[in-house]
Chain A
Amino acid sequence: MRIGKIAPALVLALAAAATTACGGGTSSSAPKELVYWASNQGTSLDNDKAVLQPELDKFEKASGIKVKLEVVPWTDLLNRILAATTSGKGPDVLNIGNTWSASLQATGAFLPFDDAALEKVGGKSRFLGPSLAATGASGQPPVGVPLYGQAYGLYYNKKLFAEAGITKPPATWEELVEDGKKLTKPDKGQWGLSLQAGQVTENSHHAAILGAQQGAQFFTAEGKPQLASDPSVAAVQQFVDLMQKDKIVNPANAEYADTAKSLKDLSDGKAAMFMNQASAGSFKNIGMDMANLGVAPIPLPATAPPNGRKVTSFVAGINMSVFKNTKNPDAALDFVKFMVSAPEQALLNKTYGSLPTVQDAYSDAAFQTEDVKVFQNVLANSAEPMPQVPQESQFETLIGTAMKGMFADVAAGKPVDGAKIRDQLNQADQQIAAGS
């Protein structure tokens, strides 16, 4: 696709919107049929289909409502949602990354989950508070309900820790750096920490977590971006310094654009630590000896900076939304209710290695293990949502891209200091403001 085709693609979508705006509606025409776009949670799209289809069949048997499933890869999901928003032609029910909630809420394309709608899917009180807080801007009805819960933790390789004489995971950021140095042996191809430094979204997540620890607020109460504030600059510097100053990250990680490489590094003993969302299932899939895998919360600084918050993760996860143009809102809500029911929550989250978003699913034995409890505790006590502002997706993209560039500079031996970081974040502020 050449650039000439980008504008036409959008415009064709807009033209489609013009011709369908009057009629509205979704792609499902039959009254008892829903179209569902699921996000890729399993090891592959086919794996997702294999996991979800039996559940959809179960739902059809109980309700008489057929659900046509399409699993959309993450690389396409946001663009597909934007196209559906523009054209009015989309699914009835869909999964969205919970960090997009406020941005998608601003489009007005999704059914607001007011109290009545929440009641129809089982009631507000069933959901975990932090997960429900990540469903849209505060003061407005949520744009969906949480489906899969996630939180960040620090995975570590127990074998490498033992070899280095380290008996417990780091409890403070300073300890993390100290342990990382002990564990870094470049001549043996072993590094203290693995980062997905070439991954825009991951970088933005870490900026948000460390930013909260440093006391950063990326947006003012009025929604004005302030990414270039002192605490934000300090947070980005702290993260980049893991490679630049502390030298506990392999510079080659600047090219790491997906999770698989970091998972493998930890599994193969090439890295001793890795900050990631709950991913025990993935470690198992790549053949890691699970006895060597430990997990702890991402540590906080020993001395909290002024206004620093005790945040070790953002409230990660997937929400389930209903497209406003659906011709079957009641059937759509029935389906959402089914998916957030305790048995489905237990089954699906167990399969995907994520966390249930409703209280009553935690009684399942699968969620009583030590590592799950670490994430559960993080989600309940030290996680805060990403900024719930309409410009959130721009925030993630711009700060994450800037950090990717900074890691590339560090890897190439170019220094990244506070002034350079501030300059980059100022540029991001200007770009966000231009689209506000």
Chain B
Amino acid sequence: MPTALDDAPAVKAAGAPKPRRARRNRRRVALPYLLLLPAILLELLVHLIPMVAGLVMSFFKLTQFSIRDFSSAPAAGLDNYKFVLDFDSAAGKSLLGSFWISIVYTVLSVGFCWLFGTSAAVLMQKNFRGRGLLRTLFLVPYALPMYAAVITWSFMFQKDTGLVNDLLGTDSFWLIGDNSFWSLVVVSVWRNWPFAFLIVMAGLQNIPGELYEAAAIDGAGWWRQFQTITQPMLRPVNQVLLLVLFLWTFNDFNTPYVLFGASAPKEASLISIHIYQSSFVTWNFGLGSAMSVLLLLFLLIVSTVYLGLTSRRRNAVV
């Protein structure tokens, strides 16, 4: 009768691979987290910690009197929020004005970017001579250094010496007054539509050609194919594309700052510029932080609702 001691080597032999496998499994599970760790740490450092610090700053009266030693900044409680949300006051009115301007700007810019990007991508879905060249050409605005491109636009929009008035045969102001808003939209669309084009083009690559062939055999025309094949198949791509474009455009700081300088015309005063002015130009960092926190909340709510709605619709379809 074998003793326990006799069994031991057998047990050991049979059990030996288990801890090794377990270790290997553990390593396999841990590897993605380890690889993600640097990104997570950087994300914490670059985004999350500043966000939390911004949130804290918004409850303090942080001005030039306390900027050197910010621990000496007097607590403001909710005063900064009350001040910017008092829509009867000048500051509240002007923040609200900037908010609406940003909304309209975002809707127009994202709408046109999506429209142009999708149209161009769909039209270039089929192979034809010169397609590669056109694709490259369309991507030029996106590839150009942002500052150089927008400064060039600012030269073109000059009233007396600008190319725009020359081409249109007009004598209008484009960088001040009502037109400044439209100048901003034009530059924004010009800059961002290639991104929409690129993403939609990538999405179109994943639609099997057989679907179009089958639809064509069934007698579906171009528009019918677009409605019943292209659009539904692009829905997941569009969902992300529209959200990304919305967040970029609503937060856009570079375009108005380079086009108009630190003090944008009131007609084109986006909320980002407004916050910059409140923080860095008038040295009221507590107030600027409060505005930033409100902006962050708004974007979070919009993004969450949007993702919730689009996911529910997708699940319903599935």
Contact = CB atoms under 8 A, between A and B. Distances in A.
A238 interface: no
Interface stretch (B67-75, B109-117, B118-126, B300-308): B67-75
B284 A434 contact: yes
Contacts of B176: 198, 254-255, 407-408, 411-412
A136 to B, nearest CB: 13
Interface in B242-295: 248, 251-254, 257, 261-263, 265-266, 271-272, 275-285, 287-289, 292, 295
B292 A435 contact: no
B292 A3 contact: yes
Contacts of B292: 3, 6-7
Contact of B53 (A14, A88, A255, A393): A14
B64 A390 contact: yes
Contacts, number: 147
A79 B285 CA distance: 13
A404 interface: yes
Given A6-B253, A255-B173, A393 B263 contact: no
Contacts of A394: 281-283
A430 B89 contact: yes
A314 B253 CA distance: 34
B166 interface: no
A3 B64 contact: no
B148 to A, nearest CB: 15
Nearest to B179: A412
Contacts of B279: 6-7, 10
A52 to B, nearest CB: 27
B283 A11 contact: no
A196 to B, nearest CB: 12
A3 B287 contact: no
Contacts of B77: none
Looking at chain A's contact residues, the main secondary structure is: helix
B117 to A, nearest CB: 20
Nearest to A203: B263
Given A255-B159, A435-B282, A3 B53 contact: no
B91 A430 contact: yes
Interface stretch (A59-67, A106-114, A302-310): A106-114
B99 interface: no
Given A255-B173, A408-B176, A10 B158 contact: no
B96 interface: no
Interface of A: 1-8, 10-12, 14-15, 17, 21, 79, 82, 85-86, 88, 103-104, 106-109, 198, 200, 252, 254-255, 257, 390, 393-394, 397-398, 400-401, 404-405, 407-409, 411-412, 426-427, 430-432, 434-436
14 contacts: A2-B253, A6-B276, A8-B47, A12-B50, A104-B64, A106-B65, A198-B176, A255-B173, A255-B176, A393-B282, A404-B263, A405-B266, A409-B177, A431-B282
Interface of B: 46-47, 49-51, 53-54, 57, 63-65, 67-70, 83, 89-91, 94, 158-160, 173, 175-178, 248, 251-254, 257, 261-263, 265-266, 271-272, 275-285, 287-289, 292, 295
